[in-house]
């Protein structure tokens, strides 16, 4: 099928009525990593504005009153920074290096729309956790894997896995709004749901294939950074088996902090390194995620830029042409 531009300005007939091609799961997951780690210089260019936003917010948080206010401020800035980077990187993926804004800190209607959809999808995912956690708890109980709702055993991870897959499915069906909005398309959640119809399981599988190593890598990196820079092992932060969730102490059990020997507070330099390295790792993770959504958006909608000629050769073109 000939490529289409899924907007009113596209070819006669408007957007395609459904996905124009099946998504190759393995090739898309591999290409999402290759597109990031093969263009690290462009990732840095796309992320520099968001990086300065985060570092500035982190510095400001030192002078804010301690408590929930500072945490909420950092949460909002992190959402804004992720949206700023997401717009830039999606434009690189779909339009090439020329798609990067000339000013690294520019913010306009596109960024606001991107942020709005991000907050909406985050809310939908949070609401999805309620029924999914209930279903997972019942399933784990039937299988005899959960002795109590707060026990950190196999049942807890069954519930977590089900919620993770549910969040991926929401992103798979609604996530096309991100690349579309980033390049200025008049696109909404309805079109994303329409163009991912019949591709939900493929998209979820591709997101899982890319997301699982990211989650594992982030956990290993966090364990390393806590140990090397802050002098705290992950084991000290986790409750003992049978103790339950953090903050809940079983009768007669020692409190989580009672087994931790006193230590000096980490130096400000260690904290700075911790934040910088964690931020870089987060940008790389988000870049892989946005790359996958862009590749899937191109494959399932046949999208091409209205100007033509500036779309970089996609790593999936040969496979798609062979379908």
User: What is the pLDDT at residue 143?
Assistant: 66
Higher pLDDT, 104 or 303: 303
Could you report the per-residue pLDDT of 20-35, keeping only the tens digit for each? 999 999 999 999 999 9
Q: How far is CA 137 from CA 37, 145, 222, 238, 243, in A?
A: 39, 9, 28, 21, 18
**Can you read off the two tokens belonging to residue 221?**
């990196």
CA distances from 88 to 40, 104, 118, 175, 292 (A): 14, 9, 15, 16, 15
234-291, pLDDT tens digit by residue? 665 555 544 444 444 443 444 444 444 455 667 778 777 888 898 999 999 999 999 9
Percent of the chain with pLDDT over 70: 72
Q: Where in the chain are the domains?
A: 25-244+262-316
Query: Quick check: pTM over 0.85?
Result: no
Q: What is the pLDDT of residues 134-169, one digit of tens each?
A: 777 777 667 666 655 555 566 666 777 888 888 899
**Predicted local confidence at residue 153, as pLDDT:** 61
Contact of 200 with 19, CB cutoff 8 Å: no
- The pLDDT tens digits for 283-295 are 999 999 999 999 9
Q: How many CB atoms lie under 10 A from the CB of residue 113?
A: 20
Half-sphere exposure (Cβ direction) of 201: Cα atoms closer than 13 Å: 1
pLDDT of residue 249: 40
**Residue-level pLDDT at 322:** 38
Say what the pLDDT of residue 154 is: 66
Q: Centre a 10 Å sphere on the Cβ of residue 205 and count the other Cβ atoms it contains.
A: 18
- Assign 223 a pLDDT band (cuts: 50, 70, 90): confident
Residue 170: pLDDT above 70?
A: yes
pLDDT at 233: 65
pLDDT the model gives residue 268: 78
What number is the average pLDDT over the span 98-108?
85
CA 55 to CA 61: how far, in whole Å?
10
pLDDT at residue 169, rounded to an integer: 93
pLDDT reported for residue 6: 46
Please tell me the distance from the alpha carbon of residue 177 to that of residue 118, in angstroms, as a whole number.
9
The token pair that represents 73 in the structure block: 């401020």
| 317: pLDDT strictly greater than 50 | no
Report the pLDDT value the prediction gives residue 129, as an integer from 0 to 100: 82
Given a cut of 50, is residue 40 above it in pLDDT? yes
Q: Is 278 exposed, middle or buried (0-12, 13-18, 19+ CB in 10 A)?
A: middle
Answer whether 77's CB lies under 8 Å from 53's CB.
Answer: yes
Q: Decide which of 131 and 28 is more confident.
A: 28
Mean pLDDT of the chain, nearest integer: 79
């Amino acid at each position: 099928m000939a490529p289409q531009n899924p907007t009113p300005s596209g070819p006669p007939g408007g957007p395609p009525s459904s996905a124009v091609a099946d998504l190759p799961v393995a090739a898309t997951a591999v290409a999402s990593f290759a597109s990031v780690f093969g263009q690290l210089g462009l990732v840095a260019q796309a992320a520099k504005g968001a990086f300065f936003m985060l570092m500035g917010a982190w510095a400001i948080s030192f002078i804010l009153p301690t408590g929930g206010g500072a945490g909420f401020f950092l949460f909002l800035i992190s959402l804004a920074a992720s949206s700023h980077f997401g717009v830039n990187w999606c434009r690189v993926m779909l339009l090439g290096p020329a798609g990067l804004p000339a000013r690294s800190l520019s913010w306009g209607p596109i960024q606001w729309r991107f942020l709005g959809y991000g907050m909406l999808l985050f809310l939908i995912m949070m609401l999805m956790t309620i029924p999914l956690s209930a279903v997972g708890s019942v399933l784990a109980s039937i299988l005899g894997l959960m002795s109590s709702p707060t026990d950190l055993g196999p049942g807890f991870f069954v519930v977590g896995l089900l919620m993770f897959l549910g969040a991926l499915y929401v992103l798979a069906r609604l996530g096309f709004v991100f690349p579309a909005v980033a390049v200025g398309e008049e696109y909404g959640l309805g079109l994303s749901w329409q163009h991912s119809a019949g591709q939900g399981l493929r998209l979820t599988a591709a997101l899982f294939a890319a997301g699982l190593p990211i989650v594992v890598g982030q956990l290993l990196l966090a364990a390393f950074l806590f140990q090397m820079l802050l002098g705290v092992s992950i084991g000290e932060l986790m409750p003992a088996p049978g103790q339950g969730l953090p903050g809940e102490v079983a009768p007669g059990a020692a409190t989580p902090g009672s087994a931790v020997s006193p230590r000096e507070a980490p130096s400000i330099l260690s904290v700075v390194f911790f934040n910088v390295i964690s931020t870089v790792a987060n940008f790389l993770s988000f870049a892989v995620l946005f790359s996958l959504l862009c590749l899937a958006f191109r494959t399932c909608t046949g999208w091409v830029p209205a100007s033509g000629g500036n779309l970089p050769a996609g790593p999936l073109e040969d496979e798609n042409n062979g379908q």
